[in-house]
Structure 1
Amino acid sequence: MIDYNIFSKIVNTISDAKLHQINELIEENLINSNNIYLYLNAMYQYGIDISFKQSKYCYLKKPICLLNKMYIYKNFPKNKIFIFNIICSTNQYLAQNMSILNSGDICLAEYQTHGKGTRGKKWFASFGNNICLSMYWNIKTSLINLSQLSVKISQIVAKILINFGIPKIRIKFPNDIFIEDKKFAGILIETFNKKKCSVDIIIGIGINIIMSNIYSKLINITWTDLSRLKIAIDRNVLIVHIVSALHDQLKKIQNKYSIFDEI
């Protein structure tokens, strides 16, 4: 049985992609020699590319830029920010806790065991290497056009990605973002509590920063990530830019058709 707190602590220790002694990991986490391999081997399941040397050392093939909680909290002091190492689904978490949420509250995770994609598909993302983000918003109109909203949110995210220097971005109607002919990011919008004058929405955003080859056979669409484009971006900075832009634009919804200001 894996203790996810210990698992996350080990990942944090070896996230620098340097050589680490396995015995030191055992001592630091107060676990026995048999259990350490339970944790290290489990990393493959979560899309972490770990390697071993002489049975005494382990290391990651690429460093992991973990979520910086303090940096994210500091940028959104008025919002509830839920950050998890491992969670079933960020969208699902917000949906289950909607009664305590305010517009603009967000949920982030290093890894989702059942990430949601469009049309009931599963969204795959390796631990600590991608963006798994969900945001709650209460829109003061029930006459919302979901396809239009998906397109506009895709445009917001696409513009930010372009500003970060990512080339050849295009939107596949209504909510997928491609780099040339390869899927790179996706948007999922779910609606709840639709009333005469309001509707609750949860916006899920997934972006491939570094995808493990472990998932290649599980994803039935051609995909890419930033690492394959040789583009290095701190995902914490990218998250802050995306959330800030969504906050600004969602506040500017003007009429019953949910038209955004020009982007």
Structure 2
Amino acid sequence: MLRNLLAILADGNFHSGEELGAQLGVTRAAVWKQLKKLESLNIPLSSVKGKGYRLSDAIELLDQSVILEKIEGRLDCLEVLLNTESTNSYLLEKSSDHMGKRYAVLAEKQESGRGRRGRTWVSPFGKNIYLSMLWSFSGGIGSLEGLSLVIAIAVERALAELGVNDAKLKWPNDVYLDHKKLAGILLEVSGEYSGHCQVVIGIGLNIKLSAHDAESIDQPWAQLSEYLGGVDRNTIAATMINHLIKAIEQFDKQGFESFKGYWTERDAFFNKEVDLILPHLTRSGIAKGVNGKGELLLQTEKGLESINAGELSLRLKNAPID
């Protein structure tokens, strides 16, 4: 019922309790209980005597059927949740029961969205894209080198299809616009090193954030609404899923080597002086792209070094730590 109530209120107009009850087929008391639930989702609601109730901002809800109509490749299951702790955690709990399945989950809100290095991903209701996809690989964990970079490429390609042509890639798996973070990626793996394994691929894409929403973000950030107008969230979600499917299928057959040149062309830090922030030390050098395994190539005084992703952060030299 809560989703149906939100669908009515999504236009941002006033709706009386009587009208809402009639459309939902319930009593006004039942409507009131549902309206109270909106508070737990931190969805701003206004009420005016004689007019009724309205959302402070009109929203566009994600619609499973609309998204599925736009999916071009094989997708075995798609769920759209109103609220969850984390789309990645949700799929990790289900992964053992869906071996071999391509399973995607979207949420309107995450209570505890996660990014790399244990950071929080700000996830207000109905404003951005929070997407996770479960994918199985027969080659084991050892065959996944470069996958995180491929996912970033898939997001960048989706943005290009939507009309955003200036996105850049930041190693190991971020998407930037105007030197600000637009999308982040978190991969979580279970299974065997050389046998069957499953990967939960999590993506957070900023579409529209208020100043209040962004108060806890401690690095430069971008939002799609500043660069792209008139494209709805359902189209954005479907386009991202389509490019994920295509990119992962190519990766599964050809590995990262087939993506290396594409990454280099869009590498935000290529040939620039950078600092590599490790847990207990900082290393400096010139970023020289990536190798066929997706490792960072860093030119230092010792020569050209290959860096694996891990508990580290890459930034332009002397820039604030992100």
Relative to the length of structure 2, the TM-score reads: 0.69
Alignment RMSD (CA, Å): 2.7
Q: Which residue of 1 aligns with 2:118?
A: 120
Q: Which residue of 2 aligns with 1:16?
A: 11
Q: Which residue of 2 aligns with 1:199?
A: 197
Q: Which residue of 2 aligns with 1:253?
A: 251
Calculate percent identity across the aligned residue pairs: 27
CA contact under 8 A between 1:226 and 1:232: conserved in structure 2?
no
Measured at CA, do residues 37 and 12 of structure 1 come closer, stay the same or move farther in structure 2, by a change above 3 Å? closer
The 10-residue stretch of structure 1 (56-65 or 19-28) with the greater mean CA deviation from structure 2: 19-28
Q: Which residue of 2 aligns with 1:81?
A: 78
Q: Which residue of 2 aligns with 1:98?
A: 95
CA contact under 8 A between 1:177 and 1:186: conserved in structure 2?
yes
Q: Which residue of 2 aligns with 1:66?
A: 61
Kindly indicate whether structure 1 or structure 2 has the higher relative contact order, using CA contacts under 8 Å at least 6 residues apart. Answer: 1
Residue 219 of structure 1: which of 217, 220, 242 is its match?
217
Output the amino acid matched with 1:169.
A
Q: Which residue of 2 aligns with 1:240?
A: 238
User: How much does 1:100 deviate?
Assistant: 2.6
User: How much does 1:83 deviate?
Assistant: 2.0
User: How much does 1:116 deviate?
Assistant: 1.8
Measured at CA, do residues 39 and 98 of structure 1 come closer, stay the same or move farther in structure 2, by a change above 3 Å? closer
**Residues 6-50 of structure 1, C-alpha deviations (whole Å, 9 max, x = no match):** 3x333221101222224544664535386466345445x2xx344
The 10-residue stretch of structure 1 (224-233 or 156-165) with the greater mean CA deviation from structure 2: 224-233
Q: Secondary structure at the match of 1:150?
A: helix
List alignment gaps of at least 5 residues for structure 2: 263-322
2: CA distance, partners of 1:217 / 1:152: 30
Output the amino acid matched with 1:116.
R
1: CA distance, partners of 2:245 / 2:35: 43
2: CA distance, partners of 1:156 / 1:78: 16
Output the amino acid matched with 1:250.
I
1: CA distance, partners of 2:242 / 2:97: 21
**Are residues 1:161 and 2:159 paired?**
yes
> Which structure 2 residues correspond to residues 134-153 of structure 1 after superposition, within 5 A?
134-142=132-140, 143-146=142-145, 148-153=146-151
The 10-residue stretch of structure 1 (175-184 or 21-30) with the greater mean CA deviation from structure 2: 21-30
Measured at CA, do residues 113 and 136 of structure 1 come closer, stay the same or move farther in structure 2, by a change above 3 Å? same
Output the amino acid matched with 2:61.
L
The 10-residue stretch of structure 1 (245-254 or 115-124) with the greater mean CA deviation from structure 2: 245-254
1: CA distance, partners of 2:246 / 2:74: 15
User: How much does 1:212 deviate?
Assistant: 3.4
List alignment gaps of at least 5 residues for structure 1: none
2: CA distance, partners of 1:58 / 1:194: 53
Measured at CA, do residues 115 and 23 of structure 1 come closer, stay the same or move farther in structure 2, by a change above 3 Å? same
Q: Which residue of 1 aligns with 2:170?
A: 172
User: How much does 1:190 deviate?
Assistant: 0.8
Output the amino acid matched with 2:4.
K
User: How much does 1:234 deviate?
Assistant: 1.5
The 10-residue stretch of structure 1 (161-170 or 125-134) with the greater mean CA deviation from structure 2: 161-170
User: How much does 1:173 deviate?
Assistant: 1.4
Q: Secondary structure at the match of 2:247?
A: helix
